[in-house]
């Protein structure tokens, strides 16, 4: 006599809930459903086996995603001279399977626990997705399948690029099974990740001048964040003779590249927001996710790039937001070639930080530098410090081709003006940027 268990389900008659058991078997370890046998193992039979199989196959085909039909087989057998419909379900290759009307969430995803069919937990669903799709966040199936793309549509139309169903598949926004990926979620109006921005008075996080949190499609967040920075990117005037020259605090190209970097390279498997803080003397961009495995700090400074979110980067590239891979950091550095203060790049295991100095905040210092000695000597020391984090007096001698007394005078002058700082004493003294 048959009994219910992990891989066996008995049903006296057909009910619509049978599709939940099909899902549970496909998500767990496979199993067999007998229709026409009650919970006690008594054979009751079905009145019309062919009609029952048609109803079940139609329900499975129309109600379950991804397509599960290749993993389900139907047959009609005689047991104790009575017709019994038998449904054999294999473990599927694209779990989690779910009710299309409920989506990829506990009320739509089912698993087998002993002889019972139960809703899967959020953690179980996530693990099934990872086992099937791999570890790349943007390629995993989105838990939210009710996505809209109003903002993305606008961006693609503005650039006269097609954004139909087929294009969404080729870009990786949708799978070939017509299921949205996490890349789709990031570009959708329902994107759950945000950018938190604040402008402060002074040099510390003490008094707010303005603060905002931007949500929705990453494309909308990109535009909103740039507009916020632009509003706080003050213009200061200089006069050369009778000519007035207006200069922004921050180069537009550096802002653009730092903002794109914080969105394209962040780790979206964590829910923490991207943080952008504007102070009187700098802007800080902090995003979750350190350097991608296999790449070093020196590599990124040379322009070598391993993209964490390759498909997202490709979308930005197609939209003309990224010109070519690996050029962002070098562009940021080049935009400060004429400035004493240089951009700062910091990384940890879990975060990436770009600091853009305010080019106008040290105008007085820059003017002094231009007036003292031959400015090439100051620039030479700063250029040497661009290549390595700290230098010795002897290295300055050799790099500038000057005597010990001259290099000492240059370094002391730069120390007095706050352009560099000294570390250590005596012969062990080294010099670093402030």
37 within some domain: yes
Q: What pLDDT does residue 247 have?
A: 84
Is there a single domain that holds both residue 93 and residue 111?
yes
Name the burial class of residue 312, with classes exposed (0-12), middle (13-18) and buried (19+) by CB atoms within 10 angstroms of its CB: buried
Residues 250 and 263: their CA atoms lie apart, in Å, by: 19
Please state whether the peptide bond connecting residue 66 to the residue before it is cis, i.e. omega within 30 degrees of 0. Answer: yes
Final residue in a domain of this structure, among 325, 340, 357? 357
Residue 35 inside a domain? The answer is yes
* 151, 218: one domain: no
Residue 1 lies in a domain: no
Mean pLDDT by 10 residues, the chain (434 residues): 88 91 94 92 90 92 90 92 93 89 90 93 85 78 91 94 92 89 96 95 89 96 96 79 76 94 90 92 92 75 77 93 78 88 87 92 51 66 88 90 85 85 88 89
pTM of the model: 0.63
Same domain, 321 and 372: no
pLDDT score for 314: 93
Q: How far is the C-alpha of 311 from the C-alpha of 134, rounded, in Å?
A: 15
- What CATH number is associated with residue 14? 3.30.950.30
Asked if residue 338 and residue 213 are part of one domain, the reply reads yes
The domain that holds 307 is classified in CATH as 3.30.565.60
On the CB side of 363, CA atoms within 13 Å amount to 8
**pLDDT value of position 153:** 95
Strands 430-433 and 351-357, bridge-based pairing: unpaired
Q: Is residue 3 situated within a structural domain?
A: no
Domain count, the chain: 4
Q: What residues make up the domain containing 367?
A: 363-433
Write down which residue in 92, 108, 131 finishes a domain. Answer: 131
On whether both 397 and 328 belong to a single domain, the answer is no
């Amino acid at each position: 006599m048959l009994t219910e268990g992990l891989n066996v389900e008995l049903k006296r008659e057909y009910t619509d809930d049978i599709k939940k058991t099909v899902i549970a078997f496909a998500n767990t370890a496979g199993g067999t459903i007998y229709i026409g046998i009650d919970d006690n193992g008594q054979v009751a039979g079905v009145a019309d086996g062919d009609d029952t199989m048609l109803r079940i196959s139609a329900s499975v085909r129309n109600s379950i995603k991804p397509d599960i039909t290749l993993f389900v087989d139907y047959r009609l057998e005689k047991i104790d001279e009575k017709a019994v419909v038998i449904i054999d379900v294999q473990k599927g290759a694209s779990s989690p399977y779910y009710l299309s009307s409920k989506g990829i969430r506990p009320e739509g995803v089912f698993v087998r626990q002993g002889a019972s069919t139960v809703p899967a937990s959020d953690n179980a669903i996530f693990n099934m997705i990872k086992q099937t799709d791999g570890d790349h966040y943007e390629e995993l199936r989105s838990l939210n399948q009710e996505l809209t793309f109003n903002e993305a549509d606008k961006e693609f139309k503005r650039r006269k690029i097609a954004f139909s169903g087929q294009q969404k598949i080729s870009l990786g926004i949708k799978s070939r099974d017509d299921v949205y990926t996490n890349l789709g979620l990031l570009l959708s109006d329902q994107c759950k990740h945000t950018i938190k921005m604040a402008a402060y008075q002074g040099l510390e996080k003490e008094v707010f001048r303005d603060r905002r949190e931007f949500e929705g499609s990453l494309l909308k967040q990109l535009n909103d964040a740039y507009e916020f920075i632009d509003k706080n990117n003050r213009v200061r005037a200089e006069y050369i003779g009778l000519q007035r020259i207006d200069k922004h605090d921050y180069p537009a190209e550096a802002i653009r590249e730092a903002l794109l970097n914080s969105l394209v390279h962040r780790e979206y498997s964590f829910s923490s927001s991207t943080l952008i803080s504007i102070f009187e003397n700098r802007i800080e961009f902090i995003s979750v996710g350190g350097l991608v495995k296999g790449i070093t700090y020196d590599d990124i400074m040379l322009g070598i790039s391993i993209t964490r979110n390759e498909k997202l980067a490709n979308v930005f590239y197609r939209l003309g937001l990224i010109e070519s891979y690996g050029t962002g950091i070098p562009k940021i550095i080049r935009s400060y070639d004429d400035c004493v203060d240089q951009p700062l790049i910091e990384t940890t295991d879990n975060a990436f930080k770009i600091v853009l100095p305010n080019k106008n905040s040290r105008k007085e210092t820059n003017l002094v530098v231009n007036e003292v000695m031959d400015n090439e000597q100051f620039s030479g020391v700063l250029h040497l410090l661009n290549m390595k984090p700290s230098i010795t007096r002897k290295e300055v001698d050799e790099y500038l081709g000057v005597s010990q007394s001259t290099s000492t005078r240059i370094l002391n002058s730069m120390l007095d003006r706050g352009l560099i700082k000294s570390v250590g004493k005596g012969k062990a003294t080294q010099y670093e940027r402030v």
